[in-house]
Amino acid sequence: MKIELEAKMNRIKIKLFVLILSLLAAPVFAAEAEELVVYSARNEQLIKPLFDAYTAKTGTKIQFITDKAGPLLARLKAEGKNTPADLLITVDAGNLWQAAQEGLLAKINSKLLNKNIPAHLRDPENRWYGLSVRARTIVYSTKRVKPEELSTYEDLGRAKWKGRLCLRTSKKVYNQSLVAMMIARLGEVETEKIVRAWMANLATDVFSNDTSLIKAIAAGQCDVGIVNTYYYGRLKRKDPNIPVALFWPNQRDRGVHVNVSGAGVVKYSRNKEAAVRFLEWLSKEKAQRLFADGNMEYPANPRVKPHPEVAAWGRFKQDTINVSQAGKLQAKAVILMDRARYK
Ligand code: FE
């Protein structure tokens, strides 16, 4: 009798043990089946290695589509609550601001993200976070310009640069953001004076991209210009002797204009927690390296060092005004550039 009872108790214990085990294991299995859908304006070649690394580490599968920021935002808007998307990755704070403004992104509550990403590189309302920093700085001909002759973005409007300045079109969001930040720092009147002075100094029509601008300086068409450093990096990699160098302007005042590429969680995502976990991982060292190095950008997390090739361009003081200003003042910047006949 006693033995039978003991055996029965043991069977119950075993059943309980199995039940507890399966309860413990359940979330693990669920996590393994996890899947995230990303809409990305950062191109496949730059983001795919990150997705693969995350899948290898966590088992979370990542589906993605890539397109330009405009069509992706339009798509998110049209899909509304039915969107399959969990995350939006895009370049330029102007685009991230736009997405948040249109109510497409969810507020995120993450101590880790707030710790890893400096305050000026993220949305003040935590709807998006910068993940890499791109510096838009001055480039000059090493044959015709001495770095001592350079000082600020504003200075490129002075008479000594007449017929020597090359600029990219004002239609590109990068320049809209640059001018928006100047409005934030210097006011509209002063910024318009500077932009008009730039126009008076142009050596030739505006360029459709940064790469052809740098090539124009190398070819002797102009002597100075403004570009994102990674375009310079790509050309320098192909031709280490390119007669063009980078200059860090405004080091005695506000610093170099920086922008971000970054990400936010889609408002109607059905996997918000998993999406935030992925964002958090993106802010950590290994992912930060992958994210920045692939495009010769700077990691947004200041504790992560840039690639040696990028670090070789020297340290610089960056403008720490919140990059969301680029979005807020974008419309003003576009109108101002139009008034100044910046094509
Ligand atoms: Fe770019």
pLDDT confidence of residue 26? 46
226 HSE (CA, 13 A, CB side): 29
pLDDT confidence of residue 3? 53
Q: Name the β-bridge partners of 228.
A: 136
CA of 39 to the centre of ligand 1 (A): 18
Please say if the pLDDT value at position 13 is more than 90.
Answer: no
**How far is it, in rounded angstroms, from Cα 228 to Cα 197?**
21
Tens digits of per-residue pLDDT, 279-331? 999 999 999 999 999 999 999 999 999 999 999 999 999 999 999 999 999 99
CA of 45 to the centre of ligand 1 (A): 14
Residue 2: band (very low, low, confident or very high) from pLDDT cuts 50, 70, 90: low
Kindly state the average pLDDT of the residues 85-93. Answer: 96
Tens digits of per-residue pLDDT, 132-146? 999 999 999 999 999
Tens digits of per-residue pLDDT, 227-259? 999 999 999 999 999 999 999 999 999 999 999
Residue 118: band (very low, low, confident or very high) from pLDDT cuts 50, 70, 90: very high
Q: How many CB atoms lie within 10 A of CB 32?
A: 11
pLDDT confidence of residue 31? 46
CA of 194 to the centre of ligand 1 (A): 24
**How far is it, in rounded angstroms, from Cα 295 to Cα 290?**
9
CA of 247 to the centre of ligand 1 (A): 18
CA of 165 to the centre of ligand 1 (A): 20
Q: Name the β-bridge partners of 225.
A: 139, 166
CA of 134 to the centre of ligand 1 (A): 9
Structure tokens at 294: 């692939």
**How far is it, in rounded angstroms, from Cα 290 to Cα 334?**
33
**How far is it, in rounded angstroms, from Cα 134 to Cα 149?**
24
CA of 295 to the centre of ligand 1 (A): 9
Lowest mean pLDDT: which of 26-40, 261-275, 307-321? 26-40
CA of 80 to the centre of ligand 1 (A): 28
Tens digits of per-residue pLDDT, 167-182? 999 999 999 999 999 9
Structure tokens at 180: 């928006």
CA of 124 to the centre of ligand 1 (A): 24
pLDDT confidence of residue 29? 44
Cα end-to-end distance, the chain, whole Å:
97
CA of 122 to the centre of ligand 1 (A): 19
How does the average pLDDT of the chain come out, rounded?
A: 93
pLDDT confidence of residue 64? 98
CA of 66 to the centre of ligand 1 (A): 15
CA of 172 to the centre of ligand 1 (A): 10
pLDDT confidence of residue 7? 59
* Domains along the chain with CATH numbers: 30-133+260-306 (3.40.190.10), 134-257+319-339 (3.40.190.10)
CA of 35 to the centre of ligand 1 (A): 29
- pTM as predicted: 0.88
pLDDT confidence of residue 104? 98
CA of 22 to the centre of ligand 1 (A): 49
Work out the burial of residue 61: count CB atoms within 10 Å of its CB; fewer than 13 is exposed, 13-18 middle, 19 or more buried. middle
